[in-house]
């Protein structure tokens, strides 16, 4: 009796396994509308990871389908809604490169800049992304001088400039704390926007729960742990020290 029970359970497990495999095998060579409907359903649930997989199937099996145009923009907006800004930018790049006409490209470029801007809740954490967002914002203003999105672009770019200046000031403060006056001066002079009155710009106050760990840009609770040595090195401080070394050698 026990032997028969084991045989029954083994047979049942085998049937379930192969039925599962058969179900996976059937998820191929489907019409474009099938994959599109799967994407819409997954976005509405929401299960964006599954939606991305269905998008890959739609793109792989129906590269010329007009449904790809809408599916690409839907996923770009869905990922932006879920604050997955890098994935949103990926789908916007696909849309711009493959499908957008001139008017659609303008809107998609605007959304790309917005995705970068929204990905920067704290400007102290990503210097490269700030520079990239500023560059794309300035290029947008040159490429679309009459765009309806210009007021929003101008606001975002201005805030990005202020964020970049705040980051540079924080770096300068750090160099002051380790007696790197030339490097501190270099970062304080990185304010090339003459239309901003920097004397009227105040440093942003961090929330109390974040300032415990990050400080206010000039100091923090772990300040006593930072050694009083020349341990912070930058490309600019290396240049300054090399020049000083060369001058000393010429004097000798």
Q: Vertex 243, ends 241 and 244: CA angle to 5°? A: 65
Measured between its terminal Cα atoms, the distance across the chain in Å is 101
Q: What is the mean pLDDT of the chain?
A: 76
Please name the residue that has the structure tokens 């490169």: 97
Going by pLDDT thresholds of 50, 70 and 90, the confidence category of residue 127 is: confident
Share of the chain above pLDDT 70, in %: 63
Q: CA-CA distance, 181 to 103, in Å (whole number)?
A: 50
Better-predicted residue by pLDDT, 122 or 237: 122
Q: pTM surpassing 0.75?
A: no
Q: What is the 3-state secondary structure (H, E, C) of 157-193?
A: HHHHHHHHHHHHHHHHHHHHHCCCHHHHHHHHCCCCC
Q: CA-CA distance, 94 to 101, in Å (whole number)?
A: 13
Q: What pLDDT, in 10s, does the model give residues 1-51? A: 554 555 544 555 555 555 544 444 357 788 999 999 999 999 999 899 999
Q: What pLDDT, in 10s, does the model give residues 189-199? A: 776 666 666 66
Going by pLDDT thresholds of 50, 70 and 90, the confidence category of residue 107 is: very high
pLDDT over threshold 50, residue 105 = yes
Q: What is the pLDDT of residue 69?
A: 93
Instruction: Decide: 126 and 117 in contact? Cβ < 8 Å.
Output: no
Q: CA-CA distance, 68 to 58, in Å (whole number)?
A: 7
Does residue 217 sit in helix, strand or coil? coil
């Amino acid at each position: 009796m026990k032997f028969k029970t084991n045989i029954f359970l083994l047979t049942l497990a085998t049937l379930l396994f192969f039925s599962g495999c058969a179900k996976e095998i059937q998820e191929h060579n489907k019409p474009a509308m099938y994959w599109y409907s799967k994407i819409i359903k997954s976005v509405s649930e929401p299960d964006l990871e599954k939606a991305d997989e269905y998008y890959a199937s739609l793109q792989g099996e129906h590269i010329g389908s007009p449904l790809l145009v809408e599916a690409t923009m839907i996923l770009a907006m869905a990922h932006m809604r879920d604050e997955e800004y890098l994935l949103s930018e990926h789908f916007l790049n696909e849309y711009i490169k493959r499908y957008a006409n001139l008017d659609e490209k303008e809107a998609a470029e605007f959304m790309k800049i917005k995705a970068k801007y929204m990905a920067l809740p704290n400007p102290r954490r990503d210097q490269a992304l700030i520079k990239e967002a500023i560059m794309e914002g300035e290029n947008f203003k040159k490429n679309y001088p009459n765009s309806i999105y210009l007021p929003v672009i101008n606001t975002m770019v201005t805030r990005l400039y202020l964020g970049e200046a705040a980051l540079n000031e924080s770096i300068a403060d750090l160099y002051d704390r380790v007696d790197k006056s030339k490097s501190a001066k270099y970062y304080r002079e990185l304010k090339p926007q003459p239309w901003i009155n920097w004397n009227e710009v105040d440093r942003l106050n961090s929330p109390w729960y974040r300032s415990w760990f990050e400080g206010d840009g000039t100091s923090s609770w772990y300040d006593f742990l930072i050694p009083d040595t020349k341990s912070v090195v930058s490309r600019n401080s290396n240049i300054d020290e090399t020049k000083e070394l060369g001058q000393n050698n010429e004097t000798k």
